[in-house]
Amino acid sequence: MTKSMNPETLLTKVARLQAENTRLRRIAHHTGDAARLERTETDAKQLLVWRFSGFSISLRAVSNYGMTRRHWEWARALLIHAGIHDGRDVTCPHFAEAVTSVEDAVATLRSEGLDRLKYRLPQYSLLEGYYKKQAKLARQKARQTLCKNARQPAPFSDAHSTDNRPVGEGGSRGVRDRRAEIEARMGMDGERRGS
């Protein structure tokens, strides 16, 4: 025996499920890849506005305008993915074409996912970027070592450590020869000179 359901109860459940479904779709739309893609599209268009207004869109410049490094990296990756940026500057001569290219790239990424865009980010650049970074770090380290060595006074290097005299010009400047004093106190001074 099945218990028949009240039509009002079914309508109430369907309405509640539809409302929950709508709420979940809104949450899903504004989180994860969808939200990132929306934000990246906005930032990429902002870069285009600045560039076509005559401003620089380098990382240093946009950080002064208020865009974070991470947002700049994603926006630049989108411009490169859209084919209107060559890694140094915007290559498209017309603003309307550039915006259309960005919108087309976003539509493609919405259906395919963000993987192709993620691989254009700096942390995903393979060996070329790694070796460039290592070479830059080596140059910086060498420069720091040279600067550090230039600031340090030169050591006295006239005498070897086996000589029984003060190092460098220390003896002529009135520096005490502690070894000679100790040998004289212990009576070893005469033995060494006699042999």
Parse the chain into domains and list their residue ranges.
12-120, 126-152
Q: How far is CA 113 from the centre of its chain?
A: 24
Q: CA 33, CA 37: separation in Å to the nearest integer?
A: 6
Q: CA 56, CA 193: separation in Å to the nearest integer?
A: 78
> pTM for this structure?
0.52
- Residue by residue, pLDDT tens for the chain (195 residues) are 455 666 667 778 788 888 888 777 766 555 678 888 989 999 999 999 999 999 999 999 999 989 999 999 999 999 999 999 988 889 999 999 999 999 999 999 988 888 888 888 877 665 556 667 778 888 888 887 776 666 666 555 554 545 555 555 444 555 667 777 778 877 775 555 554
> What confidence score (pLDDT) does residue 96 get?
93
Question: Which contiguous run of DSSP H or E holds residue 45?
Answer: helix 32-52
* Other Cβ atoms closer than 10 A to 177: 14
Q: CA 9, CA 11: separation in Å to the nearest integer?
A: 5
> What confidence score (pLDDT) does residue 87 get?
84
